[in-house]
Structure 1
Amino acid sequence: MSILSRCLWQTTISQEIGESLLDDALIKISPWAFDNKNLEEILDTGEWSFQRLMSGKSATRRIVCNRIDEYNGVIVNVEDTDNNNDLWGVSIRIHIEESTCYFWIDNTLESNNPNRFLKLGRPRAVSDLLQLGNSPSFGNGEILTCPETITTKNFQPFLERLQSNERLLPLIAITCPYSGFDQGASTFAEKLATRVTGFATVATITPEAQEFLRESLPDGLGVWGGSIRVYGTGPLDASYKHRLYSLPELSERLADSIVYRTAMFSTRRYPPEPLRIFDRKITSMRQGGENAEVVRLQEEIDNLKLELEILQDEYNESEADLNSTRGKLERTRRQLRQYSAIEETESPADNDPPDEVSGWDEAIEYCQRYLSDRISLPLEAIKEREILESTPTAIAWGNALWRGLSSLHAYCEDQVNGKCNGGFYQWCISSGRWNYSNKKLAMRESTTVRNNDTLRSARMFPCSSSLDPSGRILMEAHLKISEGGGSLAPRVYFFDDSRGPTKKIHVGMIGPHYLTPNTRS
């Protein structure tokens, strides 16, 4: 079961409210669960199943509700099985402890097609349940259902929240041109805030406040003039962690990308300890009592999940650090050739490509912006962009992709300028820019693939008519961005024309491995 998004929050409650809050919660859940907006009854403990329409097609809904009064909580699971046999789920846990009520809502999917495009957003139950209790919050942040407008008057507390290491929710900062927000931008912000309710917050920054923000944050971390930045959690110490969408077109696709990114972070979020204890007690109860071994194993699973999250963060940072180190090395070499001081090479110049990126999307955008003189990357070559941007490894894979594309660009430059002996493989051995082992680079496909019409046709990619009049050409050489990741492990297929008429590298496909199957697939 894959978690698509996770919403966590808590509210303060009085003793009088606490006695009826679980009833009120079950009244809020009932019309949504039974797909009947006029229903105003308490959802009882029990199980139900019925047919309903889902995206205009028949689906089976199953509801399971358990109220556990001895632990002051409820667990409600709502599942829809659609006509593709995909299982969509919403799991709701509510637990009261003294004067605090805790909420935990997971949106899940179990599918035979894990690579399908998904339109994410908070389950409707989130907005309904946020009406219960007082001042819903998570970490040091309030749970907001609409955009917060930041002006010079409320800028200082906003900045303190943004810079706080206790902030547990990503913050989507939307700016506008200096003429101000128009109706389109305001509507975009409102719709986006609704979709990310419970796992991120949205702030619209007025022109005056944009200048304050620009001056208050380290270089490379501000946002202004119509751009959007998604500030992740943790320190504001590296731009790649806080994705920038430069002067975007306010479209549904952009909103999808932002929702994916923030939902991705939410799935790795740990529930507060009272909720985890409540969950373990319910597990033990279902096992027939307080089973010490079940509790121990659950705690071990929790610790392993935390370890995995730490390792994922370290992986992301190591990829970005590697890019940063390679960038400094390349600038050092360039400065030394020009007899300049090495100290000047610490940061890229304004017109230099950046060292690291904040995700899959940004690597592609930077390629089109900075590397197009030597790399041809048509839009039709970019496959499953939304899916790869939404994976937990999007930052690390994005940095590996950026390093790979930058390596192809540098190789092509050397080849055009007569500084290269041999092809890309030999260049990688001498330069160290890209790992030349068969786990990271293949210059040819196997004989079996070349002789199989189906597998061969999967590697016929679009190209310039100057390469082939048909507009398609066989591409066998490819970068392996990741060996791990299963069928989603990204590949970059390319054709080397650095010594040909175009003097370019032509990229035919950037996308997941399953699009180019082989005999082992």
Structure 2
Amino acid sequence: MGNGRYRTVFHTALTPADAFDTARRELRSWLVVKSRHKSIDIAAYDAGETRLGDGIVLLHNAQAEEGGAQTRQWQLRENRGGGYWLSSLVVHAPAKAKDPQQRTWFWIDVEYVRTADGDAEDRSAPKAAIPRIARQLLGVVDARDHWAELAAKPILIRPDRIDDLLEVLTDDERRLPTVVASPHNRVPFDDWRKTIEGVTRFLPGLASLYILDPPAAHEFNREVGAAFGVWGGAVRTYLPGLDLALDEDAARHRVLSSTRIEADVDRSARLLAGLPRRLASGGRLPKPLSRLSRAAVASAVSRSESSDGTASPDLDLLLEERTKILQENNELRELLELADHEERRLRAEIDDLQNGLLETAAELEVENQKNVDLFNLVRTLRKRLEDAGRAEEAYLPAEETTRLPTQLPEVLERLEELDRVEFTGDVDLVWKLEEKAQSSTWAQTTWRVVVALQEYADSVARGKFHGDFRRWCLEPPSGASAIPVGKVKPDESDTVRKNAKMRRKRELPVPRDVDNSGRVYMGAHIRIGGGAGMSAPRLHYYDDVRGTGKIYIGYLGPHLEVKSTN
């Protein structure tokens, strides 16, 4: 268990039949390669036998859920030392495609399990390397972590794919880290690309991997802003829940410098893989897989081990014995499923605590640095005043202080201070967000957003700016309020716009003088905060500055349903 385990989970658009065929083909290929170094009987595997050699057992189980979903599970156990290596491959397919982007899930686990009779002096367990079957599958299927591409090597990003990368980074459904490498200032790009492939070699399946070419690096850093950029050959790990609207969030997304990489590529590779491995190993499984249980395979073990007895000539006794075995197996399955459920619950709690610890540590680092910076600034300004003969002014209290709101409903109340931004949405949804621990952070982010919208709208109304809000954030006038441009989405995807149900959810209230129907489509939205899944807040707005002179916020609440969400 723990950090020694390798785990990867990804989905594909394969049909169930193709997914199962691919899994069987790559599993056999993997075993063939292993047989060159271990006594694995491939003929026994082809014959459907469970024992493939001395201390080597392969179990296969197929499940059909109510509703038509299908699952295939393979579990390879290899005895070694005071324990055994346990390798699991699970393929889960839905009953039928609900949309063209069907999700068929692959789940690979490899870990060393120490048995009770193992060496008590050796408490440590060996760390699982990336299994060859994981690299094989990543090489033959279009593996995805929602929108992120999972590949065996970093994917090249040119300028025309910057928007795709930004979508990946700010995607709330992303479960795994995204690792982005930048070009080196002095090393030829092709040579540095090979170095990056070496330093990311322990990451396939644990993170989505990308490398920016020189023109793309310039564009990328302009889009995400200085706090979130990566340059000079550095590699940056962007964790899930990235919030480009908060510079304070930048410390959470660690940078590995080119200097450290060049000094020791091997050590850098292990350092880079540490956090992604921990997150993948201890993180929550996607919802379609969280209902599955390894107890199903365990019960298959019980059935295979209880099928070696000799047949009884007494049919009644045979049926009685069979009924008894089935009853015992059912009881065992229930116990194993209960234990598996408890294990998943505890892992979810550990994952939450781990993520909370990372965020708290990052916030503490940022606040400490800000305090130091402010202290140095105040000390410098006071010294300048003293040197100018104005020492009496150096210690006067501030004439004006600005307090950021700490509650989202307070943001709505303070909109009265702004004359060009109006909230027309459901207040109850805003109060719903107050139930979350991050609500105070979301409130401060939302206030920064509405202030930026106000200044943008005022500038447009005065004829001083002629672009849209995204352009305003991309190239803000000197001294103007703006937010990171990666947070601003001018419209929804084609999938959402063309789906009647999804589009209706974005037809939001406005005054009648904006539209006679009292509602308009608000595809433009802003990502307010991080967080996983549908709880991450969104602000949908309608820009009518060139009409009624205002911007209308028709929705502030949890992420609206999208087509790609299961």
TM-score by length of 2: 0.51
Partner of residue 164, structure 1? 171
Q: Which has more helix, going by share of residues?
A: 2
Instruction: Compute the RMSD of aligned alpha carbons.
Output: 3.6
Distance 1:281 1:116 in 2: 23
Distance 1:4 1:73 in 2: 21
Tell me how far 1:224 sits from its aligned partner.
0.8
Distance 1:200 1:328 in 2: 31
- What is the CA deviation profile of residues 135-175 of structure 1, one whole-angstrom value per residue up to 9, with x for unaligned ones? 22222222212221111122111122122222222222121
Match of 1:126 among 116, 122, 134: 134
Partner of residue 80, structure 2? 81
Partner of residue 289, structure 1? 330
Match of 1:47 among 51, 63, 81: 51
> Which amino acid counterpart does residue 289 of structure 1 have in structure 2?
N
> Which amino acid counterpart does residue 246 of structure 1 have in structure 2?
S
Structure 2 counterpart SS, 1:93: strand
Q: Does residue 57 of structure 2 align to residue 63 of structure 1? A: yes
Match of 2:230 among 216, 223, 226: 223
Match of 2:209 among 184, 202, 205: 202
Structure 1 counterpart SS, 2:359: helix
Tell me how far 1:338 sits from its aligned partner.
4.7
Partner of residue 97, structure 1? 94
Q: Which has more strand, going by share of residues?
A: 1
Q: Does residue 250 of structure 2 align to residue 242 of structure 1? A: no
Structure with the bigger RCO (C-alpha within 8 Å, sep 6+) is: 2
Structure 2 counterpart SS, 1:165: coil
After superposition, the Cα gap between the structure-2 partners of 1:23 and 1:255, relative to the gap in structure 1 and judged at 3 Å, is closer
Q: Does residue 314 of structure 2 align to residue 307 of structure 1? A: no
> Which amino acid counterpart does residue 34 of structure 1 have in structure 2?
S
Partner of residue 143, structure 1? 150
Given that 1:33 and 1:78 are in contact with CA atoms closer than 8 Å, whether structure 2 keeps it comes out as no
Partner of residue 25, structure 2? 24
Distance 1:323 1:18 in 2: 45
> Which amino acid counterpart does residue 97 of structure 1 have in structure 2?
P
- What is the CA deviation profile of residues 219-274 of structure 1, one whole-angstrom value per residue up to 9, with x for unaligned ones? 32211121111222222442232111122333222112112232222112322333
Tell me how far 1:205 sits from its aligned partner.
0.9
Tell me how far 1:79 sits from its aligned partner.
3.2
Gaps in structure 2 of 5+ consecutive residues:
65-69, 97-102, 115-120, 303-327, 383-393, 399-566
Tell me how far 1:126 sits from its aligned partner.
0.7
> Which amino acid counterpart does residue 281 of structure 2 have in structure 1?
T
After superposition, the Cα gap between the structure-2 partners of 1:140 and 1:88, relative to the gap in structure 1 and judged at 3 Å, is same
Gaps in structure 1 of 5+ consecutive residues:
51-60, 344-521
Distance 2:91 2:283 in 1: 17
> Which amino acid counterpart does residue 75 of structure 2 have in structure 1?
V
Q: Identity of aligned pairs, percent?
A: 18
Given that 2:61 and 2:296 are in contact with CA atoms closer than 8 Å, whether structure 1 keeps it comes out as no
After superposition, the Cα gap between the structure-2 partners of 1:15 and 1:214, relative to the gap in structure 1 and judged at 3 Å, is closer
After superposition, the Cα gap between the structure-2 partners of 1:161 and 1:323, relative to the gap in structure 1 and judged at 3 Å, is closer
Structure 1 counterpart SS, 2:351: helix
Distance 2:357 2:343 in 1: 21
Structure 1 counterpart SS, 2:273: helix
- What is the CA deviation profile of residues 32-67 of structure 1, one whole-angstrom value per residue up to 9, with x for unaligned ones? 4434699686483513444xxxxxxxxxx6333223
Tell me how far 1:331 sits from its aligned partner.
4.4
> Which amino acid counterpart does residue 13 of structure 1 have in structure 2?
L
How many residue pairs get aligned? The number is 330
After superposition, the Cα gap between the structure-2 partners of 1:322 and 1:339, relative to the gap in structure 1 and judged at 3 Å, is same
Tell me how far 1:92 sits from its aligned partner.
2.4
Partner of residue 420, structure 1? none
TM-score by length of 1: 0.55
